[in-house]
Structure 1
């Protein structure tokens, strides 16, 4: 049976008899709204556009090499599918950022089933993370790969939410500095400790692992303290990359974000990695962009927005999407209005309370005013 969405809340509907005109009537399972679903030409073309966008077929495989398809669907590139406001709390959410270009990053938040929110920014920073998190109800645990500025935003927006750092990304960060074939004994041992991080299942194993890291630091203290002079005459640590790998683990240990998934008071099984968003969302987005490579940066951003919206908890029907989603023109009008309002606000002190009445009028002390 065709999956019909409610125009009010976006939940699935079921058949509910027929109208006097013989049209199929539907009723929402959530809000009990009854309606007839009249399919228009615009809805059919939007469905065709999304089917192409999420599929593998190229426009060259279409009749006429896709000229009719581009003419019919060009107006859908004007729409901006914006994220809904999530008011139902999730147990665990995953956050990550995917870069589409050098100065174009989309921050994404999801749970085990749906995409909860997304936000476009130039790069990962705390204000962008705050803008993403503010529209989503705070979960119990959030799993992150350590994006720039995320912890600062987390403390501000979700102060009671616990943070779990993806242990696979923690291992990858150490491997980036030591490589898979370290040339020193200290490097081999640290790489082994980072790799053992992926196998920890109990709190006793976690405490033993932390002790081993601290023992490694003491055992190789003299080796790590060696210095060298580079070609410019600057004194530098001789094993600088190894020190960075060590600091990356010590920092996570001190912040107590490595073993949140082992907390007995959570009451549920918490994941330790960010695999849900890496494999379930980012990989799908990259595959979509790869299948339709050659799009401009704006269309790549909108393609990601479309994918995220159609995988959100309760996307609207095609008819409602065409009715309520903003376009390039509407967003441009709002932006221009905000600019004009800002200019007006800046001009008020110049011609308002900053002016002194005596500066515009001559004042003669010999003149007396005897008004009552």
Structure 2
């Protein structure tokens, strides 16, 4: 065990009996000053809290129905895990958003191995996506499900990055319009064409798919132009089929369906055609964690997801460093107060999210009416 040092002169100390409470007393061999030493177990408690958060353990199964655990971990819910900046250029990055409330979405970016960034926002707007991308080095390819605002942000922040549109989500858009058992021949054929997207392995097959889709569009063009009068207004009779056609036409024109087959990109490594890595490897795990610990309020759900993402980054800090470096509710409140009224206030707090983490979760009134 390391020798105790005097807090005044730094000299060596020796044992000097115990206090009235039984705590061991130490005396400086130089100045005769006495003191006691307490072991700081906060970092150990934080490790226990994070282990519980990532485990299926229930508080109801703990001694005392978890009351002692809740008291010891209360302070840790005030900490906000912050995503580290990622300056490493990755070959493929997956992005997606997981909704936690009517006006709260966590945007997440990950590679095949670990999480590289997350950002809390009100919606999947271009500003929110740009805030996430700004802290991540532009990858060679980004795989996305086509969320709103993403492409505008990608052109502004990652202009040289190629886009792979998740083919399963492209197929899902058509399936929602046609159902799995279309009643019309046109719908059955379009459903089959969309399903073929999931089984293309070469550029020749991709060219054949584009040709078959073009033939379908030409063959059923007149059918899709048919109209009917409803409530005195002329409307297209097959609007759902038209919507499905438009979704595939936009993707075909954008050239983002078959990026995963580009030979030049494949030189740097395989490019997945779907967003399964983040859907199954991240979002599914987050939903399972929230289900296991159901009953948490919105703010704690947000922090729980932030903790999960942070602990799955490439190099998370030890518990002691987390306690020393991560901001808390109080430090963020002070930042908002200091920046209030200044033109740069919004930029100063952008790293915490789109102001959701404080302004919307902490109100001065006794009731909350802005959240479900």
TM range (shorter): 0.7 to 0.9
Residue matched to 2:153: 153
Deviations 1:233-286 (A, max 9, x none): 222110000000000000000000000000011112211000000000000000
Deviations 1:91-141 (A, max 9, x none): 100000000111110000000111000000111010000000000011100
Aligned-partner SS, 2:264 = coil
Residue matched to 2:274: 273
CA distance in 2, matches of 1:336, 1:227: 59
Residue matched to 1:354: none
Which range is displaced more, 199-208 or 265-274? 265-274
Q: Map of 1:177-192 to 2, 5 A cutoff?
A: 177-192=177-192
TM-score, length-normalised on structure 2? 0.81
CA distance in 1, matches of 2:110, 2:324: 26
CA distance in 1, matches of 2:158, 2:222: 42
* 1:341 Cα offset (Å): 2.8
Residue matched to 2:27: none
CA distance in 2, matches of 1:235, 1:40: 75
* 1:58 Cα offset (Å): 1.0
Q: Map of 1:235-246 to 2, 5 A cutoff?
A: 235-246=234-245
Residue matched to 1:314: 315
CA distance in 2, matches of 1:302, 1:209: 44
* 1:290 Cα offset (Å): 0.2
CA distance in 2, matches of 1:343, 1:118: 22
RMSD: 1.8
CA distance in 2, matches of 1:300, 1:306: 10
Residue matched to 1:284: 285
Residue matched to 1:213: 213
* 1:77 Cα offset (Å): 0.3
Residue matched to 1:5: none
Residue matched to 2:333: 332
Residue matched to 1:121: 121
CA distance in 1, matches of 2:63, 2:181: 54
* 1:343 Cα offset (Å): 11
Residue matched to 1:256: 255
Cα–Cα, structure 1 residues 343 and 54, in superposed 2: closer, same or farther, change >3 Å? closer
